[in-house]
Amino acid sequence: MNTFEQLADLEERLAATKKKLEHAALIGAYLQSLPSGEIALAARLLIGRVFSEGDPRILNVSGAAIERVVAQTIGTSELARVDGAVDFGDAVEKILRQAGHTRQGAPLTLDEVWHAYEELATLSGPGSRERKDARLRELFERASALEAKYIVKHLIREMRVGVNEGTLLDALARTTGIPGATIRRAYQFTGDVGKVAEAALVQGEQGLGHLEPTLGHPLKPMLAQSAVDIPDAFTQMPLGETALEYKLDGARVQIHKSGDAIRVFSRSLAELTYSLPEIVDEVRREIKARDAIVEGEVIALTPEGRPRPFQDIMRRIGRERDVAEMQREIPVKLYLFDCLYRDGELFIDRPNAARWQALTEVAGGIARVERRVPESVAEGQAFLKQAQDAGHEGVMAKLLASPYLPGERGKHWLKIKPIITLDLVIVAADWGYGRRTGWLSNVHLAARDSETNEWLEVGKTFKGFTDAEFKALTDRLLALKVKETRGTVWVKPQIVAEVAFNNVQTSPQYKSGVALRFARVVRLRDDKPPEETDTVETLKRLLGD
Ligand code: ATP
Protein backbone atom coordinates (compact mmCIF):
# COMPACT_ATOMS: atom_id res chain seq x y z
CA MET A 1 0.00 0.00 0.00
CA ASN A 2 1.20 3.49 -0.72
CA THR A 3 1.02 6.22 1.89
CA PHE A 4 -2.33 7.74 0.89
CA GLU A 5 -4.02 4.37 0.71
CA GLN A 6 -2.66 3.65 4.17
CA LEU A 7 -4.22 6.87 5.43
CA ALA A 8 -7.63 5.91 4.02
CA ASP A 9 -7.27 2.45 5.51
CA LEU A 10 -6.35 3.94 8.90
CA GLU A 11 -9.33 6.32 8.84
CA GLU A 12 -11.61 3.34 8.22
CA ARG A 13 -10.16 1.46 11.13
CA LEU A 14 -10.45 4.50 13.40
CA ALA A 15 -14.10 4.89 12.47
CA ALA A 16 -14.72 1.24 13.37
CA THR A 17 -13.66 1.54 17.01
CA LYS A 18 -14.32 3.97 19.80
CA LYS A 19 -11.48 2.66 21.96
CA LYS A 20 -9.07 5.48 22.69
CA LEU A 21 -6.05 3.28 23.30
CA GLU A 22 -6.62 1.54 20.01
CA HIS A 23 -6.86 4.91 18.25
CA ALA A 24 -3.56 5.97 19.76
CA ALA A 25 -1.84 2.71 18.75
CA LEU A 26 -3.15 2.79 15.17
CA ILE A 27 -2.25 6.45 14.64
CA GLY A 28 1.18 6.06 16.22
CA ALA A 29 2.08 3.04 14.10
CA TYR A 30 0.97 4.78 10.92
CA LEU A 31 2.80 8.06 11.53
CA GLN A 32 5.94 6.17 12.50
CA SER A 33 5.90 4.20 9.26
CA LEU A 34 5.87 7.32 7.07
CA PRO A 35 8.84 8.99 5.35
CA SER A 36 9.72 12.05 7.44
CA GLY A 37 8.58 14.47 4.73
CA GLU A 38 5.02 13.16 4.90
CA ILE A 39 4.48 13.04 8.68
CA ALA A 40 3.29 16.63 9.04
CA LEU A 41 0.83 16.31 6.13
CA ALA A 42 -0.61 13.10 7.53
CA ALA A 43 -0.99 14.51 11.04
CA ARG A 44 -2.92 17.54 9.75
CA LEU A 45 -5.15 15.46 7.49
CA LEU A 46 -5.94 13.16 10.39
CA ILE A 47 -7.47 16.05 12.31
CA GLY A 48 -9.34 17.14 9.18
CA ARG A 49 -7.06 20.01 8.16
CA VAL A 50 -5.29 20.40 4.85
CA PHE A 51 -3.39 23.56 5.81
CA SER A 52 -1.96 24.45 9.20
CA GLU A 53 -3.81 26.83 11.47
CA GLY A 54 -3.22 30.44 10.46
CA ASP A 55 -2.43 29.44 6.86
CA PRO A 56 -4.88 31.65 4.97
CA ARG A 57 -5.29 29.29 2.02
CA ILE A 58 -8.66 27.64 1.62
CA LEU A 59 -9.76 24.84 -0.64
CA ASN A 60 -12.38 26.32 -2.89
CA VAL A 61 -13.96 23.15 -4.20
CA SER A 62 -17.74 22.98 -4.17
CA GLY A 63 -19.95 19.93 -3.83
CA ALA A 64 -21.21 20.62 -7.38
CA ALA A 65 -17.65 20.49 -8.75
CA ILE A 66 -17.04 17.16 -7.06
CA GLU A 67 -20.29 15.72 -8.45
CA ARG A 68 -19.40 16.95 -11.93
CA VAL A 69 -15.94 15.40 -11.83
CA VAL A 70 -17.07 12.10 -10.30
CA ALA A 71 -19.61 11.83 -13.15
CA GLN A 72 -16.86 12.49 -15.72
CA THR A 73 -14.57 9.95 -14.06
CA ILE A 74 -17.11 7.15 -14.45
CA GLY A 75 -18.24 8.37 -17.90
CA THR A 76 -21.81 9.37 -17.12
CA SER A 77 -23.66 12.64 -17.52
CA GLU A 78 -25.69 12.39 -14.32
CA LEU A 79 -24.95 10.58 -11.09
CA ALA A 80 -27.43 7.97 -9.91
CA ARG A 81 -28.80 8.34 -6.37
CA VAL A 82 -27.23 6.05 -3.81
CA ASP A 83 -29.03 4.60 -0.85
CA GLY A 84 -27.69 4.42 2.66
CA ALA A 85 -24.82 6.89 2.32
CA VAL A 86 -24.14 8.65 5.62
CA ASP A 87 -22.34 11.58 4.08
CA PHE A 88 -20.95 12.94 0.84
CA GLY A 89 -17.63 11.08 0.98
CA ASP A 90 -19.46 7.85 1.62
CA ALA A 91 -21.83 8.53 -1.30
CA VAL A 92 -18.90 9.10 -3.69
CA GLU A 93 -17.27 5.85 -2.57
CA LYS A 94 -20.51 3.94 -3.19
CA ILE A 95 -21.02 5.55 -6.61
CA LEU A 96 -17.49 4.67 -7.71
CA ARG A 97 -17.82 1.10 -6.45
CA GLN A 98 -21.15 0.62 -8.21
CA ALA A 99 -19.59 1.88 -11.43
CA GLY A 100 -16.74 -0.62 -11.05
CA HIS A 101 -14.16 2.18 -10.83
CA THR A 102 -10.57 1.05 -10.50
CA ARG A 103 -7.45 3.07 -10.05
CA GLN A 104 -5.38 4.00 -13.10
CA GLY A 105 -1.63 4.40 -12.81
CA ALA A 106 0.52 4.24 -9.71
CA PRO A 107 -1.08 4.48 -6.26
CA LEU A 108 -1.06 7.98 -4.78
CA THR A 109 1.38 9.16 -2.17
CA LEU A 110 0.35 11.61 0.53
CA ASP A 111 2.75 14.13 -0.91
CA GLU A 112 1.11 13.97 -4.33
CA VAL A 113 -2.37 14.33 -2.90
CA TRP A 114 -1.31 17.29 -0.80
CA HIS A 115 0.29 19.02 -3.76
CA ALA A 116 -2.94 18.58 -5.68
CA TYR A 117 -4.85 20.18 -2.77
CA GLU A 118 -2.36 23.02 -2.73
CA GLU A 119 -2.89 23.62 -6.44
CA LEU A 120 -6.67 23.52 -6.02
CA ALA A 121 -6.35 26.21 -3.36
CA THR A 122 -4.26 28.49 -5.54
CA LEU A 123 -6.03 28.17 -8.90
CA SER A 124 -8.20 31.21 -9.56
CA GLY A 125 -9.20 33.59 -12.32
CA PRO A 126 -10.36 32.90 -15.88
CA GLY A 127 -10.32 29.26 -16.87
CA SER A 128 -9.66 28.11 -13.33
CA ARG A 129 -12.85 26.06 -13.18
CA GLU A 130 -11.67 23.88 -16.07
CA ARG A 131 -8.20 23.56 -14.62
CA LYS A 132 -9.57 22.68 -11.20
CA ASP A 133 -11.86 20.05 -12.71
CA ALA A 134 -8.95 18.57 -14.63
CA ARG A 135 -6.77 18.42 -11.52
CA LEU A 136 -9.57 16.84 -9.50
CA ARG A 137 -10.23 14.32 -12.22
CA GLU A 138 -6.59 13.29 -12.25
CA LEU A 139 -6.84 12.69 -8.50
CA PHE A 140 -10.01 10.61 -8.74
CA GLU A 141 -8.61 8.54 -11.60
CA ARG A 142 -5.56 7.64 -9.59
CA ALA A 143 -7.59 6.90 -6.43
CA SER A 144 -9.44 3.78 -5.36
CA ALA A 145 -13.08 4.21 -4.35
CA LEU A 146 -12.05 4.22 -0.70
CA GLU A 147 -9.33 6.81 -1.27
CA ALA A 148 -11.80 8.97 -3.20
CA LYS A 149 -14.06 8.93 -0.15
CA TYR A 150 -11.34 10.55 1.95
CA ILE A 151 -10.30 12.98 -0.77
CA VAL A 152 -13.90 14.21 -0.78
CA LYS A 153 -13.92 14.47 3.02
CA HIS A 154 -10.72 16.51 2.99
CA LEU A 155 -11.95 18.79 0.22
CA ILE A 156 -15.23 19.69 1.84
CA ARG A 157 -14.18 19.27 5.47
CA GLU A 158 -16.93 16.75 5.92
CA MET A 159 -18.68 16.62 9.25
CA ARG A 160 -16.89 13.54 10.40
CA VAL A 161 -13.20 13.36 9.63
CA GLY A 162 -10.49 11.65 11.60
CA VAL A 163 -9.79 12.39 15.22
CA ASN A 164 -9.51 15.41 17.44
CA GLU A 165 -6.23 17.14 18.26
CA GLY A 166 -6.12 15.69 21.80
CA THR A 167 -6.24 12.10 20.50
CA LEU A 168 -3.49 12.79 18.00
CA LEU A 169 -1.20 14.41 20.60
CA ASP A 170 -1.90 11.51 22.96
CA ALA A 171 -0.94 9.05 20.22
CA LEU A 172 2.35 10.90 19.72
CA ALA A 173 3.12 10.78 23.43
CA ARG A 174 2.40 7.06 23.64
CA THR A 175 4.38 6.21 20.52
CA THR A 176 7.47 8.23 21.34
CA GLY A 177 7.45 7.97 25.16
CA ILE A 178 7.79 11.78 25.33
CA PRO A 179 5.71 13.21 28.22
CA GLY A 180 2.25 14.33 27.12
CA ALA A 181 2.76 17.75 28.73
CA THR A 182 5.86 18.39 26.58
CA ILE A 183 3.97 17.47 23.42
CA ARG A 184 0.96 19.61 24.33
CA ARG A 185 3.17 22.58 25.11
CA ALA A 186 4.93 22.35 21.75
CA TYR A 187 1.50 22.27 20.13
CA GLN A 188 0.35 25.35 22.03
CA PHE A 189 3.44 27.24 20.96
CA THR A 190 3.10 26.37 17.30
CA GLY A 191 -0.62 25.67 16.85
CA ASP A 192 0.36 23.06 14.27
CA VAL A 193 0.00 19.32 14.90
CA GLY A 194 2.02 18.72 11.74
CA LYS A 195 5.16 20.44 13.01
CA VAL A 196 4.81 18.78 16.41
CA ALA A 197 4.35 15.30 14.96
CA GLU A 198 7.33 15.69 12.67
CA ALA A 199 9.62 17.03 15.41
CA ALA A 200 8.53 14.37 17.93
CA LEU A 201 8.93 11.43 15.56
CA VAL A 202 12.03 12.55 13.69
CA GLN A 203 14.07 14.32 16.39
CA GLY A 204 12.42 13.21 19.63
CA GLU A 205 12.07 15.30 22.80
CA GLN A 206 15.01 17.51 21.86
CA GLY A 207 13.34 18.45 18.60
CA LEU A 208 10.27 19.60 20.49
CA GLY A 209 12.49 21.81 22.63
CA HIS A 210 13.24 23.83 19.50
CA LEU A 211 9.58 24.60 19.04
CA GLU A 212 9.76 27.47 21.54
CA PRO A 213 7.69 30.55 20.92
CA THR A 214 9.48 32.78 18.45
CA LEU A 215 8.91 36.30 17.31
CA GLY A 216 6.80 36.33 14.20
CA HIS A 217 5.15 32.96 14.98
CA PRO A 218 1.88 33.43 16.85
CA LEU A 219 1.10 31.35 19.94
CA LYS A 220 -2.33 29.90 20.43
CA PRO A 221 -4.26 32.32 22.65
CA MET A 222 -5.19 31.51 26.23
CA LEU A 223 -8.97 31.20 26.55
CA ALA A 224 -11.54 31.50 29.31
CA GLN A 225 -14.32 29.42 30.82
CA SER A 226 -17.67 31.01 31.65
CA ALA A 227 -18.85 32.06 35.09
CA VAL A 228 -22.51 32.89 35.56
CA ASP A 229 -21.96 36.09 37.54
CA ILE A 230 -19.53 37.83 39.91
CA PRO A 231 -20.42 35.78 43.03
CA ASP A 232 -19.96 32.59 40.99
CA ALA A 233 -16.55 33.79 39.79
CA PHE A 234 -15.46 34.41 43.37
CA THR A 235 -16.48 30.93 44.46
CA GLN A 236 -13.98 29.71 41.87
CA MET A 237 -11.23 32.30 42.46
CA PRO A 238 -10.15 33.89 45.76
CA LEU A 239 -10.89 37.55 46.49
CA GLY A 240 -7.74 39.64 46.70
CA GLU A 241 -5.90 37.18 44.42
CA THR A 242 -7.98 37.79 41.31
CA ALA A 243 -7.96 40.70 38.90
CA LEU A 244 -11.08 41.81 37.06
CA GLU A 245 -10.68 43.47 33.67
CA TYR A 246 -13.20 44.96 31.28
CA LYS A 247 -14.15 42.43 28.63
CA LEU A 248 -14.09 44.43 25.42
CA ASP A 249 -16.11 43.10 22.52
CA GLY A 250 -13.74 43.45 19.63
CA ALA A 251 -11.06 41.47 17.86
CA ARG A 252 -8.32 39.84 19.84
CA VAL A 253 -4.83 40.59 18.59
CA GLN A 254 -1.40 39.19 19.36
CA ILE A 255 1.26 41.66 18.36
CA HIS A 256 4.87 40.71 17.67
CA LYS A 257 7.45 43.49 17.62
CA SER A 258 10.97 42.79 16.44
CA GLY A 259 12.73 46.13 16.23
CA ASP A 260 10.73 48.14 13.71
CA ALA A 261 9.08 45.08 12.20
CA ILE A 262 5.58 44.68 13.59
CA ARG A 263 3.18 41.85 12.87
CA VAL A 264 -0.37 41.52 14.11
CA PHE A 265 -2.13 38.15 14.42
CA SER A 266 -5.75 37.24 15.04
CA ARG A 267 -7.32 34.89 17.57
CA SER A 268 -7.08 32.14 14.97
CA LEU A 269 -3.43 33.01 14.17
CA ALA A 270 -4.17 34.69 10.84
CA GLU A 271 -2.10 37.72 9.89
CA LEU A 272 -3.90 41.07 10.26
CA THR A 273 -0.92 43.39 9.90
CA TYR A 274 -2.05 45.00 6.64
CA SER A 275 -5.59 45.69 7.75
CA LEU A 276 -4.60 47.61 10.90
CA PRO A 277 -1.87 50.10 9.87
CA GLU A 278 -2.67 52.57 12.64
CA ILE A 279 -2.17 49.86 15.27
CA VAL A 280 1.14 48.90 13.66
CA ASP A 281 2.30 52.54 13.78
CA GLU A 282 1.20 52.99 17.37
CA VAL A 283 3.04 49.87 18.50
CA ARG A 284 6.20 50.85 16.63
CA ARG A 285 6.08 54.31 18.21
CA GLU A 286 5.03 53.50 21.74
CA ILE A 287 6.26 50.10 22.91
CA LYS A 288 9.21 50.53 25.24
CA ALA A 289 11.20 47.47 24.19
CA ARG A 290 13.13 46.42 21.14
CA ASP A 291 11.36 43.07 20.96
CA ALA A 292 8.02 42.20 22.51
CA ILE A 293 4.90 40.05 22.22
CA VAL A 294 1.82 41.72 23.66
CA GLU A 295 -1.86 40.88 23.52
CA GLY A 296 -4.98 42.96 23.53
CA GLU A 297 -8.33 43.69 21.99
CA VAL A 298 -8.98 46.08 19.12
CA ILE A 299 -12.41 47.73 19.16
CA ALA A 300 -14.20 50.18 16.89
CA LEU A 301 -15.16 53.51 18.44
CA THR A 302 -17.88 56.12 18.02
CA PRO A 303 -16.75 59.78 17.77
CA GLU A 304 -17.60 60.04 21.48
CA GLY A 305 -15.21 57.19 22.24
CA ARG A 306 -17.87 54.56 23.04
CA PRO A 307 -17.47 51.03 21.67
CA ARG A 308 -19.24 50.34 18.40
CA PRO A 309 -20.84 46.93 17.68
CA PHE A 310 -18.64 43.93 17.02
CA GLN A 311 -19.81 43.82 13.37
CA ASP A 312 -18.05 47.14 12.76
CA ILE A 313 -14.62 45.98 13.84
CA MET A 314 -15.11 42.82 11.81
CA ARG A 315 -15.31 44.97 8.68
CA ARG A 316 -11.74 46.10 9.36
CA ILE A 317 -10.31 42.73 10.28
CA GLY A 318 -8.44 40.92 7.52
CA ARG A 319 -9.39 43.57 4.98
CA GLU A 320 -6.49 44.55 2.76
CA ARG A 321 -8.22 46.67 0.11
CA ASP A 322 -9.34 50.28 0.58
CA VAL A 323 -7.68 50.27 3.98
CA ALA A 324 -7.21 54.05 4.14
CA GLU A 325 -10.89 54.64 3.43
CA MET A 326 -11.91 52.08 6.04
CA GLN A 327 -9.58 53.72 8.55
CA ARG A 328 -11.61 56.91 8.20
CA GLU A 329 -14.96 55.13 8.26
CA ILE A 330 -14.24 52.85 11.19
CA PRO A 331 -11.61 54.22 13.59
CA VAL A 332 -10.23 51.58 15.93
CA LYS A 333 -8.43 51.55 19.23
CA LEU A 334 -6.13 49.03 20.84
CA TYR A 335 -6.37 48.08 24.52
CA LEU A 336 -3.63 45.80 25.81
CA PHE A 337 -4.05 43.15 28.50
CA ASP A 338 -1.01 40.85 28.44
CA CYS A 339 2.73 40.72 27.80
CA LEU A 340 4.22 37.37 26.78
CA TYR A 341 7.76 38.34 25.82
CA ARG A 342 10.13 41.27 26.25
CA ASP A 343 13.71 41.61 25.02
CA GLY A 344 14.82 38.00 25.28
CA GLU A 345 12.70 37.20 28.32
CA LEU A 346 9.75 34.84 27.88
CA PHE A 347 6.94 35.62 30.31
CA ILE A 348 4.43 32.86 29.69
CA ASP A 349 5.40 30.84 32.76
CA ARG A 350 5.37 33.94 34.95
CA PRO A 351 2.26 34.81 37.00
CA ASN A 352 -0.39 37.09 35.56
CA ALA A 353 0.54 39.82 38.07
CA ALA A 354 4.15 39.88 36.79
CA ARG A 355 2.98 39.96 33.18
CA TRP A 356 0.69 42.89 33.94
CA GLN A 357 3.65 44.66 35.55
CA ALA A 358 5.78 44.00 32.46
CA LEU A 359 2.95 45.27 30.28
CA THR A 360 2.74 48.45 32.34
CA GLU A 361 6.44 48.98 31.71
CA VAL A 362 6.37 48.37 27.95
CA ALA A 363 2.98 49.82 26.98
CA GLY A 364 4.18 53.44 26.70
CA GLY A 365 1.21 55.56 25.63
CA ILE A 366 -0.94 52.59 24.51
CA ALA A 367 -4.11 52.06 26.55
CA ARG A 368 -4.38 49.05 28.82
CA VAL A 369 -7.78 47.56 29.68
CA GLU A 370 -9.41 48.84 32.90
CA ARG A 371 -8.34 46.51 35.66
CA ARG A 372 -8.92 46.14 39.39
CA VAL A 373 -8.27 43.59 42.14
CA PRO A 374 -11.46 43.83 44.20
CA GLU A 375 -11.47 43.16 47.93
CA SER A 376 -15.17 42.27 48.10
CA VAL A 377 -17.86 40.71 45.92
CA ALA A 378 -19.74 44.03 46.03
CA GLU A 379 -16.71 45.85 44.66
CA GLY A 380 -16.54 43.25 41.88
CA GLN A 381 -20.21 43.77 41.08
CA ALA A 382 -19.74 47.53 40.95
CA PHE A 383 -16.82 47.03 38.53
CA LEU A 384 -18.98 44.86 36.25
CA LYS A 385 -21.68 47.54 36.26
CA GLN A 386 -19.07 50.18 35.42
CA ALA A 387 -17.90 48.03 32.46
CA GLN A 388 -21.43 47.62 31.15
CA ASP A 389 -22.26 51.31 31.65
CA ALA A 390 -19.22 52.11 29.51
CA GLY A 391 -20.74 49.92 26.76
CA HIS A 392 -18.62 46.77 27.22
CA GLU A 393 -19.97 43.24 27.29
CA GLY A 394 -18.78 42.14 30.72
CA VAL A 395 -15.59 41.41 32.64
CA MET A 396 -12.81 38.84 32.69
CA ALA A 397 -11.58 37.40 35.99
CA LYS A 398 -7.92 36.39 36.00
CA LEU A 399 -6.06 34.55 38.75
CA LEU A 400 -3.06 36.71 39.63
CA ALA A 401 -0.89 33.63 40.19
CA SER A 402 -1.67 31.92 36.90
CA PRO A 403 0.81 31.43 34.05
CA TYR A 404 -0.19 32.05 30.44
CA LEU A 405 -1.49 28.73 29.14
CA PRO A 406 -1.56 28.96 25.34
CA GLY A 407 -4.56 27.36 23.70
CA GLU A 408 -6.16 26.29 26.96
CA ARG A 409 -9.68 27.07 28.03
CA GLY A 410 -8.96 26.52 31.71
CA LYS A 411 -10.09 27.79 35.07
CA HIS A 412 -7.47 30.53 35.38
CA TRP A 413 -9.46 32.94 33.25
CA LEU A 414 -13.21 33.27 33.60
CA LYS A 415 -15.50 35.42 31.50
CA ILE A 416 -18.58 36.97 32.98
CA LYS A 417 -21.06 38.13 30.39
CA PRO A 418 -24.58 38.82 31.61
CA ILE A 419 -26.02 37.20 28.47
CA ILE A 420 -24.89 33.62 27.87
CA THR A 421 -24.48 32.69 24.24
CA LEU A 422 -23.05 29.68 22.43
CA ASP A 423 -20.88 29.60 19.35
CA LEU A 424 -22.24 27.00 16.93
CA VAL A 425 -21.64 26.04 13.32
CA ILE A 426 -24.15 26.32 10.48
CA VAL A 427 -24.36 22.94 8.75
CA ALA A 428 -27.47 23.49 6.62
CA ALA A 429 -30.26 25.95 5.85
CA ASP A 430 -33.83 25.65 4.55
CA TRP A 431 -35.17 27.66 1.61
CA GLY A 432 -37.49 30.32 2.98
CA TYR A 433 -41.08 30.94 1.96
CA GLY A 434 -43.40 33.93 2.11
CA ARG A 435 -41.37 37.08 2.54
CA ARG A 436 -38.16 35.06 2.62
CA THR A 437 -38.75 33.22 -0.67
CA GLY A 438 -35.49 32.90 -2.60
CA TRP A 439 -33.32 33.13 0.52
CA LEU A 440 -31.87 30.45 2.69
CA SER A 441 -33.29 31.38 6.04
CA ASN A 442 -33.81 28.69 8.65
CA VAL A 443 -30.24 27.74 9.61
CA HIS A 444 -29.41 24.37 11.17
CA LEU A 445 -26.97 24.82 14.03
CA ALA A 446 -24.53 22.14 15.12
CA ALA A 447 -22.15 21.59 18.01
CA ARG A 448 -19.07 19.39 17.86
CA ASP A 449 -19.00 16.05 19.63
CA SER A 450 -15.50 16.25 21.09
CA GLU A 451 -15.16 12.44 21.21
CA THR A 452 -15.97 11.69 17.60
CA ASN A 453 -15.29 15.10 16.03
CA GLU A 454 -18.73 14.91 14.45
CA TRP A 455 -20.97 17.96 13.97
CA LEU A 456 -24.31 17.20 15.58
CA GLU A 457 -27.40 19.35 15.13
CA VAL A 458 -28.78 21.07 18.22
CA GLY A 459 -31.31 23.52 16.80
CA LYS A 460 -32.63 25.63 13.96
CA THR A 461 -33.52 29.29 13.71
CA PHE A 462 -34.28 32.08 11.28
CA LYS A 463 -34.29 34.71 14.00
CA GLY A 464 -31.71 37.43 14.28
CA PHE A 465 -31.06 38.32 10.62
CA THR A 466 -32.05 41.44 8.72
CA ASP A 467 -33.17 41.10 5.09
CA ALA A 468 -29.78 42.27 3.88
CA GLU A 469 -28.09 39.70 6.11
CA PHE A 470 -30.33 36.90 4.76
CA LYS A 471 -29.28 37.85 1.27
CA ALA A 472 -25.58 37.89 2.08
CA LEU A 473 -25.86 34.69 4.09
CA THR A 474 -27.65 32.93 1.21
CA ASP A 475 -24.73 33.72 -1.11
CA ARG A 476 -22.19 32.52 1.42
CA LEU A 477 -24.09 29.31 2.11
CA LEU A 478 -24.54 28.50 -1.56
CA ALA A 479 -20.80 28.85 -2.08
CA LEU A 480 -20.32 26.23 0.64
CA LYS A 481 -23.05 23.90 -0.63
CA VAL A 482 -22.35 20.20 -0.45
CA LYS A 483 -25.74 18.75 -1.35
CA GLU A 484 -29.42 19.60 -1.43
CA THR A 485 -32.28 17.54 -0.07
CA ARG A 486 -35.98 18.53 -0.15
CA GLY A 487 -35.82 22.24 0.60
CA THR A 488 -32.58 22.06 2.57
CA VAL A 489 -29.09 23.00 1.45
CA TRP A 490 -26.31 21.20 3.32
CA VAL A 491 -23.06 23.12 3.58
CA LYS A 492 -19.46 22.69 4.64
CA PRO A 493 -19.31 23.38 8.37
CA GLN A 494 -17.48 26.70 8.18
CA ILE A 495 -19.69 29.58 9.26
CA VAL A 496 -19.73 30.18 13.01
CA ALA A 497 -22.80 31.82 14.55
CA GLU A 498 -23.11 33.16 18.07
CA VAL A 499 -26.49 32.06 19.31
CA ALA A 500 -28.65 33.21 22.22
CA PHE A 501 -31.38 30.92 23.56
CA ASN A 502 -33.80 30.50 26.41
CA ASN A 503 -32.77 27.06 27.60
CA VAL A 504 -31.41 23.66 26.60
CA GLN A 505 -33.66 20.58 26.54
CA THR A 506 -33.14 16.89 25.95
CA SER A 507 -34.14 15.91 22.44
CA PRO A 508 -35.13 12.48 21.18
CA GLN A 509 -34.99 13.74 17.56
CA TYR A 510 -31.44 14.99 17.41
CA LYS A 511 -28.55 12.54 17.52
CA SER A 512 -26.81 15.00 19.90
CA GLY A 513 -29.60 14.33 22.41
CA VAL A 514 -30.03 18.05 23.14
CA ALA A 515 -31.87 20.96 21.56
CA LEU A 516 -31.88 24.72 22.08
CA ARG A 517 -35.21 26.38 22.81
CA PHE A 518 -35.89 29.75 21.20
CA ALA A 519 -32.51 30.04 19.55
CA ARG A 520 -31.67 33.31 17.79
CA VAL A 521 -28.48 34.35 16.03
CA VAL A 522 -26.75 37.25 17.76
CA ARG A 523 -24.09 37.60 15.07
CA LEU A 524 -21.77 35.65 12.82
CA ARG A 525 -18.33 35.01 14.27
CA ASP A 526 -16.01 35.18 11.28
CA ASP A 527 -13.08 35.56 13.67
CA LYS A 528 -13.61 32.11 15.16
CA PRO A 529 -12.55 28.81 13.59
CA PRO A 530 -15.25 26.10 13.61
CA GLU A 531 -13.00 23.82 15.65
CA GLU A 532 -13.20 26.19 18.61
CA THR A 533 -16.94 26.41 18.90
CA ASP A 534 -18.93 25.04 21.82
CA THR A 535 -19.27 21.30 22.18
CA VAL A 536 -22.23 19.01 22.77
CA GLU A 537 -20.83 18.42 26.28
CA THR A 538 -21.10 22.15 27.03
CA LEU A 539 -24.73 22.09 25.97
CA LYS A 540 -25.36 19.06 28.14
CA ARG A 541 -23.97 20.95 31.12
CA LEU A 542 -26.55 23.68 30.47
CA LEU A 543 -29.45 21.19 30.32
CA GLY A 544 -32.55 22.33 32.16
CA ASP A 545 -31.01 25.64 33.22
P1 ATP B 1 -16.12 35.35 23.28
O2 ATP B 1 -16.95 34.67 22.27
O3 ATP B 1 -16.82 35.55 24.58
O4 ATP B 1 -15.42 36.58 22.79
P5 ATP B 1 -13.96 33.58 22.80
O6 ATP B 1 -14.39 32.17 22.63
O7 ATP B 1 -13.53 34.32 21.61
O8 ATP B 1 -15.04 34.36 23.65
P9 ATP B 1 -12.91 33.34 25.35
O10 ATP B 1 -11.67 32.77 25.84
O11 ATP B 1 -14.11 32.56 25.66
O12 ATP B 1 -12.77 33.60 23.81
O13 ATP B 1 -13.09 34.80 25.92
C14 ATP B 1 -12.01 35.64 25.94
C15 ATP B 1 -12.07 36.59 24.75
O16 ATP B 1 -12.51 37.85 25.19
C17 ATP B 1 -10.67 36.82 24.23
O18 ATP B 1 -10.37 35.92 23.19
C19 ATP B 1 -10.66 38.26 23.80
O20 ATP B 1 -10.97 38.36 22.43
C21 ATP B 1 -11.80 38.89 24.56
N22 ATP B 1 -11.36 39.84 25.59
C23 ATP B 1 -11.88 41.07 25.78
N24 ATP B 1 -11.32 41.69 26.82
C25 ATP B 1 -10.40 40.85 27.33
C26 ATP B 1 -9.51 40.91 28.43
N27 ATP B 1 -9.45 41.97 29.24
N28 ATP B 1 -8.70 39.85 28.65
C29 ATP B 1 -8.76 38.76 27.85
N30 ATP B 1 -9.59 38.64 26.81
C31 ATP B 1 -10.42 39.66 26.54
State in Å: Cα 475 to ligand 1 middle: 29
* Diameter over CA atoms, the chain: 75
Looking at ligand 1, which atom is closest to the CA of residue 498? Answer: 2
Q: How far, in whole angstroms, is CA 245 from its chain's centroid?
A: 25
Q: Is residue 18 part of a domain?
A: yes
| pLDDT value of residue 2 | 87
> Are 365 and 441 contained in the same domain?
no
Q: Is residue 274 part of a domain?
A: yes
> Are 403 and 527 contained in the same domain?
no
Q: Is residue 303 part of a domain?
A: yes
Q: Is residue 35 part of a domain?
A: yes
473 contacts 462 by C-beta, under 8 angstroms: no
247, 398, 417, 492: the catalytic one is 247
**Cβ count near 125 (within 10 Å):** 7
Domain termination site, one of 98, 121, 156: 156
> Are 353 and 241 contained in the same domain?
yes
Is 247 annotated as catalytic? yes
Q: Is residue 167 part of a domain?
A: no
- Any atom of ligand 1 within 6 Å of the Cβ of 93: no
Q: Is residue 177 part of a domain?
A: no
Interatomic CA distance for residues 66 and 70, integer angstroms: 6
> Are 345 and 475 contained in the same domain?
no
Helices (H), 59-127: 63-73, 88-98, 110-122
pLDDT in tens, the chain (545 residues): 889 999 999 999 998 888 888 999 999 999 999 999 999 999 999 998 888 877 878 887 888 899 999 999 998 887 777 777 777 888 999 999 999 999 999 999 999 999 999 999 999 889 989 999 999 999 999 999 999 999 999 988 755 556 888 889 999 999 999 999 899 889 888 888 999 999 999 999 999 987 777 788 889 899 998 888 899 999 999 999 999 999 999 999 999 999 999 999 999 888 999 999 999 999 999 999 999 999 999 999 988 888 998 888 988 987 888 999 999 999 999 999 999 999 988 899 999 999 999 999 999 999 999 999 999 999 999 999 999 999 998 999 999 999 999 888 889 999 998 877 899 999 999 999 888 889 998 999 999 998 888 899 999 999 988 888 999 999 999 999 988 888 999 999 999 999 999 888 899 999 999 999 889 999 999 888 888 899 998 888 777 54
Domain termination site, one of 416, 441, 466: 416
pTM over 0.85: no
Q: Is residue 311 part of a domain?
A: yes
- Any atom of ligand 1 within 6 Å of the Cβ of 317: no
SS3 435: helix
- Any atom of ligand 1 within 6 Å of the Cβ of 224: yes
Host domain of residue 25: 4-156
State in Å: Cα 358 to ligand 1 middle: 21
CATH number for 272: 3.30.470.30
CATH number for 85: 1.10.3260.10
Residue nearest to atom 24 of ligand 1 (CA): 247
Closest CA to 192 of 216, 165, 162: 165
Domain termination site, one of 416, 438, 463: 416
> Are 269 and 403 contained in the same domain?
yes
| pLDDT value of residue 544 | 59
| pLDDT value of residue 545 | 46
- Any atom of ligand 1 within 6 Å of the Cβ of 184: no
Q: Is residue 28 part of a domain?
A: yes
The DSSP element (H or E) to which 139 belongs, if any, is: helix 128-142
> Are 314 and 371 contained in the same domain?
yes
> Are 484 and 347 contained in the same domain?
no
> Are 445 and 407 contained in the same domain?
no
Looking at ligand 1, which atom is closest to the CA of residue 525? Answer: 2
> Are 408 and 484 contained in the same domain?
no
Provide the domain count of the chain.
3
483 contacts 490 by C-beta, under 8 angstroms: yes
- Any atom of ligand 1 within 6 Å of the Cβ of 522: no
170 contacts 196 by C-beta, under 8 angstroms: no
> Are 444 and 386 contained in the same domain?
no
Interatomic CA distance for residues 460 and 478, integer angstroms: 18
